[in-house]
Amino acid sequence: MTATEISKAVDDITNAFKDKGINVDKERIETLLNQYVNDFKIPIGSALAPVRKKIASELSVDVPGKSRDTITAKVDEIKDYPQGTWMNIPQAKITKTFGQTKSIKERGLIANEYDKVFFLVNDKATDVPETLEEGKVYQFDNVVTNVFNGDIQIHVNKNSSVKELPDVDIETDKPISITGVVQNVQKGTGYVKRCGECNKVLQKGECPNHGKVDKDNTKEDVRTLFVFDDGKKTYNVYMNAELTEKATGVSVEKALDIIMDSLQPEDVTDLITEKMNLRYGTITVRNGGRYYITDEVDLR
């Protein structure tokens, strides 16, 4: 937990008391938060309420604030908070929308300069523009985090509001260079077949968009999914066929040769894993949401 996050939480609690005309010791609040978060390993979103209660008890006053705690976070800070955290996001750019369903007004990706996060607009949300447009920047208030398919996302609900910021722009998809080590190679690495229509990876011969796909309408591919550790944080990284060949020597053609010899597609995964694990070097990536997409790779 960073000092900036602690500082924001201190301000949130201080302002909750200030709104009730009560002055509090910010250093005392910071001490308690550090104890809960750093010593007791309690997520900061869960530590706010007990700290407020403790401060109120010491001052012999009622606990101020709403029934839930709402923090302020940037897009790249959202994943630092647990599921169920209520938050305000001052600026977020819509980079992708996936359309509506019966119960969902919109789903897509919001971003800032450093990260992307999925968002979902519930059909009960009313204080939201009719259309959230790709490329525009919005302010999200009173949204809550949850997890969908293993990914953290923000949920825009009946308590939320979304407001366009027409005079604000955010540069996203900045490539960043990271130096570190390949911590491990993930499931899904190796030889895959893709749908010839939408390029989605087939599972047991079926496309998630088009169902059963004729073998003449598929494309062979090789990919590498791995965890990269720079000593400060870890990154889930995707590497395409071209860069997989550069880093490991395993091309699509070589993968097919291996499978023809052994009849075991897993042998391709094993070879890539053997050649990737624990290698040190520098990668240049762009944030693609679930994975960082590799532009360049230099591993030793």
Q: Do domains 70-164 and 176-299 have the same CATH topology?
A: yes
At residue 180, the pLDDT reads 96
Cβ atoms of residues 94 and 138 within 8 Å: yes
For the chain, the domains span 3-59, 70-164, 176-299
The single-letter code of the amino acid at 90 is: P
Distances (CA, A) of 140 to 9, 116, 121, 145, 149: 18, 15, 11, 12, 22
| Secondary element (H or E) of residue 15 | helix 3-18
Domain 176-299 has CATH 3.40.190.10: no
- Classify domain 70-164 by CATH architecture: Beta Barrel (2.40)
Which residue reads 């809550």 in tokens? 144
Q: Could you give the angle at which helices 252-262 and 266-276 cross, rounded to 10 degrees?
A: 130
At residue 136, the pLDDT reads 96
At residue 26, the pLDDT reads 92
Q: Which of 243, 255, 242 is nearest to 281 (CA)?
A: 243
Low pLDDT (below 50) residues in the chain: 67
Supply the DSSP symbol for 255. Answer: H
In the chain, the percentage of residues whose pLDDT exceeds 70 is 98
pLDDT digits (tens, 9 = 90+) for 227-255: 999 998 889 999 999 999 999 999 999 99
Which residue reads 């709403």 in tokens? 66
- CB atoms under 10 Å from CB of 21, counted, come to 8
At residue 22, the pLDDT reads 85
Query: What is the full DSSP assignment across 87-106?
Result: EEEEEEEEEEE----SSEEE
CA distance 187 to 284: 22
pLDDT digits (tens, 9 = 90+) for 56-82: 888 888 777 554 678 999 998 898 887
CA distance 48 to 61: 17
Against a cut of 0.85, is the pTM above it?
no
